[in-house]
Every structure is written in structure tokens, then in C-alpha cells.
Amino acid sequence: MTRRGRRITLIAVVVAIVAVATGLVLVALRDNIAFFYTPETLRQAAPNAETRIRLGGLVETGSVARLGDGAVAFVVADNVSTVKVTYAGVLPDLFREGQGIVAEGRWVDEVFVADQVLAKHDETYMPREVAEALKAQGEWRGGPLPE
């Protein structure tokens, strides 16, 4: 094999190895990606039940209900639309009605089934994604967007 042939073979092998490594990384990360939705965008997009997503908005006042099996049901709103959420687990200490939350889970039969609920941690904090979505809908009442 000539010197040029060996160089072409080496380049082809390196490109193949990089392509396989990139593919493996993308497959590994696919399960950890969670897209962010507001109640309105969730109702419009209606992702399938296998897709892991994040839902953000405000817990509607008077909507929190304890279910018989220890789970909690509540409604998340964004002043345009509402989504019923169920969660089987311990809610964060700062979770309460009228507060902003982000829940991770799946959209199943018009109900968001959360496996993790995150509540805002002080009076001014709001996840940047939630703040941008509220600002885009004209509902942002805060000062500058959070960092």
C-alpha cells in the first residue's frame, strides 16, 4: 500500500471512530433531555407519553388536593391555559398555591404525571425558562429577567 493509501485509510478510520463516538454520546444523552413547556404550549404540542418534559407555571389557588394513595393533584396555570398535574412523592417545603413551580414528568391522557416537582426558593427567583415564557405571553410582572 502506498503512503497516500495508508493516509486515506487512517483518515477514514478516524472519521468512523469519531462518528461512532458521537452517535453513542447522542444516544446516551437522549434520555436526559427534557424540553420545557408552559401549559399553553403543552396543550398545543401534545407530546407522546414516552417523551420526558418539564412543565412550568403557577400553582392555581384552591387546586391542591391530596389523593387517597398519598399522591397530590394540583393545577398549573399560565394565565392562558391550565394543566392538571399528579405527583406521588414529597412536595418541596416551599410548594404552595400561587407560587411558581417546574415539574418534570410525562404527558399522559391530558394529565401531566410528574416524577419531580421543584418550587421557587425565594421571593424573587423564577427559572429563566418560566420567566421568558411569561414575558413572551405578556404576563411577566417582575423586573429584569433572572440570570
The CATH number linked to 131 is 2.40.50.140
Candidates 142, 131, 106, 140; CA nearest to 56 is 131
Which residues does residue 87 pair with via DSSP β-bridges, in sequence order? 72, 114
- Provide the pLDDT for residue 93: 80
Least confident of 18-22, 29-33, 68-72, 93-97: 29-33
Does position 108 have pLDDT exceeding 60, yes or no? yes
64 with 20, same domain: the answer is no
User: What is the overall mean pLDDT for the chain?
Assistant: 82
Q: What would the pLDDT profile of 3-49 be if each residue is shown by its tens digit? A: 888 999 999 999 999 999 999 988 887 766 667 888 888 888 877 77
Which residues does residue 23 pair with via DSSP β-bridges, in sequence order? none
- Provide the pLDDT for residue 12: 94
| Domain span at 27 | 1-32
16 with 62, same domain: the answer is no
73 with 127, same domain: the answer is yes
- Supply φ then ψ for residue 108, to 5 degrees: -130, 120
Is 145 within a domain? no
Candidates 40, 33, 32; CA nearest to 58 is 40
72 with 23, same domain: the answer is no
Q: What's the whole-number mean pLDDT along residues 113-131?
A: 74
User: Into how many domains does the chain fold?
Assistant: 2
- Provide the pLDDT for residue 38: 85
Q: What's the whole-number mean pLDDT along residues 94-123?
A: 83
